[in-house]
Structure 1
């Protein structure tokens, strides 16, 4: 049996985002990728505590990504506001790529929750 690639859901979200926003963004990204669920969640290090409760309800680990790792990623989308605030085009995409590891590829660029308070992107890392 071949090793399975790790799929990470990266999140960017407002302080006003609740579990419903996070769930909606995740659902949209997973549906677009044709998967049931990721193996882990990731976000900016300072946002990780806010994502932990949601991750716990899913039984998934959270990978907090330091700012320097976020800004080192090449993202598909570019938000001028996010570039100014976070030095990356998309926190969701950068977090997913960074957590998925070296050689990761973006499966789904950021997808917004209907209320636009959260976004989710999926990245696939090399099998371990």
Structure 2
């Protein structure tokens, strides 16, 4: 395992609560074989960064909450492993969660868990190079 940090890319519907966000995150970690790993950075759409549930979820995990502008997501379209037609039409990228995770991971960041979706949340995991 590399020395990088995990970044959780999270997409939510407005009004989603922290418990739903954390449940999706924990599910993504479990699928990736990383249960219990720290995710020191949460990345989401700039339009979702002020959501109470997102703030509470980040606080619960002592994670830095990073806002990714819609425009910045588009640079990661090619790197997305999954594609939602609805999301692509709204944001120009196949997966907000994957693109946000990669954007926040920085140059050389890699997707370690493609997006998983629950009723109100999508979550993907990326790893930074340092």
Q: Which runs of 4+ in 1 moved over 6 A?
A: none
Displacement of 1:31 in angstroms is 0.7
- Aligned pair count reads 123
2:91 is matched with 86
Displacement of 1:34 in angstroms is 2.0
How high is the TM-score relative to the length of structure 2?
0.89
RMSD: 1.3
Alignment of 1:106-125 (within 5 A): 106-113=111-118, 116-125=119-128
Displacement of 1:99 in angstroms is 0.1
Q: Deviations over 1:37-65 (max 9, x none)?
A: 31211001111111222201211110111
Q: Deviations over 1:70-128 (max 9, x none)?
A: 11102111101000111110110000000000111100001122xx100100001101x
Unaligned segments of structure 1, at least 5 residues: none
Alignment of 1:1-128 (within 5 A): 4-35=3-34, 36=36, 37-50=38-51, 51-73=54-76, 74-113=79-118, 116-127=119-130
Unaligned segments of structure 2, at least 5 residues: none
Contact 1:16-1:117 at 8 Å conserved across structures: no
Q: Distance between the aligned counterparts of 1:66 and 1:11, measured in 2?
A: 13
